[in-house]
Amino acid sequence: AGGWMRAAEASADDLEIPETIRLTIEQQVARLGSRERRLLDAASVSPANCAAAVIAAAAGMTVVEVEALLTPLARRGAFLREREPIEWPDGTVSASYDFVHSLYREVLYARIFAAQRAEFHHQVGVRLESAFGARAPQIAGELAVHFERARELPRAIRYLLHVAETDAGRSAHESAQRHYRHALALIENLPPCAERDRNEAASRIGLAGVLTQLRGWGAIEVEHEYARAQELCERHGAHDLSFLASWNLWVGSIARGQISDAHDRSRAVFDLACCSASPSVRLQGHHALWTTAFARGEFQQVPVHVAAGIALYQPEELHLQSYGSHDPCVCARAFQARAAALCGQPATAARAIEAALALARRIGHPFTLSFSLMHASAVWLEIGNAQTALVCAAEAARIAEEQDFSL
């Protein structure tokens, strides 16, 4: 009916390369010279569009030698195709190739002994890392694969976290979650040390930020990740990550309606924030207090902390995934509006919530926008504009459904 569907489950045996095809390819490879075979083996560990400079690094040859041996093969259509030359940030320019069929890559890769395969991945990873320098995070996914297969786990974890953070920043929640969990699985294989624990804490905090958007601030799995991260941070004196975990444990308690506990936590968070030289950290201290004041019905305190927080707002220093997965200035205006509405100040409430929505739309962060729309619907109801409340609620619901925001 105009689309494809799977007729039946495929077994592992069904997906293996048929023996006749594997033997045919191995016979073709056997007819080549030893240097050509080595280069094809090296090419099989590389990405689909493989630079001669990468193959040279893996095989221990010069780029000129690689091009002299592989270009004739490619022009005959044997194993490889020639692609456009590739230029790297360090100025290296070389020919590039890909396999005429993925089966060639799979057969060649499978025939490499494990130690040689790991060495190839190491050489490729190191060469790419050197070529891209400060821009290595741009190819973090590729580097993570090479260093994991070279069994250089700390390097692989570092690049996996880059990939996860990038995915989280563009609201690719499932992909980000998968990469954070992959990093945590690799971390399990490392011996205990401060760096290992800091990486685990960073991975758990990142994962918890994604889960916050998917499950809500008060979800038990979110609390578990932050609590474990805080334990690791306190063990090694990682105060920056410890504060972040403490702040998010506070927001979890308020989301679960544990107002007394949230009050105590908010004061502790504020005291810690006051000791920081960072304006963005001090802002988060006020963030905890204006939210808690509203939850406790202390509406006169809300604008005090909102004003103090907004004065510290520096959007270029904020990481939206870190503190409740939403923009604090949008949050400040939203709570200012909620408090004003409940204090019988409809004009102030309308101005504040319109400012919150305008900023949320400029930022373009889906969770922040749905958060602001949810508060806007409450504000418009409280000041007697049910039709606008309905419009805001409907838009919030649409975004939440599209993005899988359970909250």
50-51, strands of its sheet edge to edge: 50-51, 93-99, 80-87
**Residue 121 neighbours by CB under 8 Å, 6+ apart:** 45, 145, 146, 147, 149, 150
Instruction: Please tell me the predicted confidence (pLDDT) of residue 162.
Output: 96
Instruction: Please tell me the predicted confidence (pLDDT) of residue 14.
Output: 66
- The tokens 């193959």 sit on which residue? 55
φ, ψ for residue 37 (rounded to 5)?
A: -60, -40
Which DSSP string corresponds to 335-387? HHHHHHHHTT-HHHHHHHHHHHHHHHHHHT-HHHHHHHHHHHHHHHHHTT-HH
Instruction: Please tell me the predicted confidence (pLDDT) of residue 54.
Output: 94
Give the closest residue to 356 by CA, choosing from 381, 325, 382, 379. Answer: 379
Q: Taking the alpha carbons of 374, 316, 169, 274 in that order, is the dihedral positive or negative?
A: negative
The segments of the chain whose pLDDT lies below 70 read: 12-15, 47, 318
Instruction: Please tell me the predicted confidence (pLDDT) of residue 277.
Output: 92
Answering whether pTM is above 0.85, one says no
Instruction: Please tell me the predicted confidence (pLDDT) of residue 139.
Output: 94
Report the alpha-carbon distance of residue 101 to residue 11 in Å, rounded: 22
